[in-house]
């Protein structure tokens, strides 16, 4: 599983020109599901996302986690995180989970995030979404449960 974390001052998901969800001061987390992902991958990604110290203290040092800050999280499924562009000019998504499997793992991932007590918002799995964000820092970090 891959997760692309972006620290944001605000972020929102719009579907069919209607606001679906939004957050202030937290993390936009794009989640890519690998075809071999299982429970241990979910737990690794959730633990890293909520405990990674990427929020600054008064001295501008990364000292606080999303859990420490009681940050809001906006979590969006993003199969293109597993794009393979090593051959040709069109990305291949061979490593991505099938839509049916990915939706199951994504929902389990959201359930695990909900157990953290943080305010969790999501996109809609499989929908065409417009994601807006104001990146704070910018701070953008790619996590991979397979590394």
Per-domain residue ranges of the chain: 2-144
Which candidate in 14, 80, 109, 140 is catalytic?
A: 80
Digitized pLDDT (tens) for each residue of the chain, 147 residues in all: 999 999 999 999 999 999 999 999 999 999 999 999 999 999 999 999 999 999 999 999 999 999 999 999 999 999 999 999 999 999 999 999 999 999 999 999 999 999 999 999 999 999 999 999 999 999 999 999 999
**pLDDT computed for residue 124 by the predictor:** 97
Residue with tokens 């490593």: 95
Query: Taking each helix axis from N to C terminus, what angle separates 39-51 and 99-114, rounded to the nearest 10 degrees?
Result: 50
User: Is 57 within 8 Å of 65 (Cβ atoms)?
Assistant: no
Q: Is 80 a catalytic residue?
A: yes
**pLDDT computed for residue 58 by the predictor:** 96
**pLDDT computed for residue 70 by the predictor:** 98
Q: Which CATH number fits domain 2-144: 3.50.80.10, 3.40.50.970, 3.40.47.10, 3.90.1150.10?
A: 3.50.80.10
């Amino acid at each position: 599983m891959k997760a692309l974390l972006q620290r944001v001052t605000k972020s929102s998901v719009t579907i069919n020109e209607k606001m679906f969800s939004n957050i202030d001061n937290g993390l936009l987390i794009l989640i890519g599901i690998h075809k071999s992902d299982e429970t241990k991958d979910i737990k690794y990604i959730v633990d890293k996302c909520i405990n990674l110290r990427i929020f600054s203290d008064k001295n501008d040092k990364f000292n606080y986690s999303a859990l420490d800050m009681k940050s809001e999280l906006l979590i969006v499924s993003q199969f293109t995180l597993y794009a393979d562009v090593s051959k040709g000019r069109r990305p291949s998504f061979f490593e991505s989970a099938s839509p049916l499997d990915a939706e199951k793992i994504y929902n389990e991932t959201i359930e695990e995030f909900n157990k953290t007590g943080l305010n969790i918002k999501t996109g809609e799995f499989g929908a065409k979404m417009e994601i807006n964000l104001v990146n704070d820092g910018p701070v953008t970090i790619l996590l991979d449960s397979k590394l």
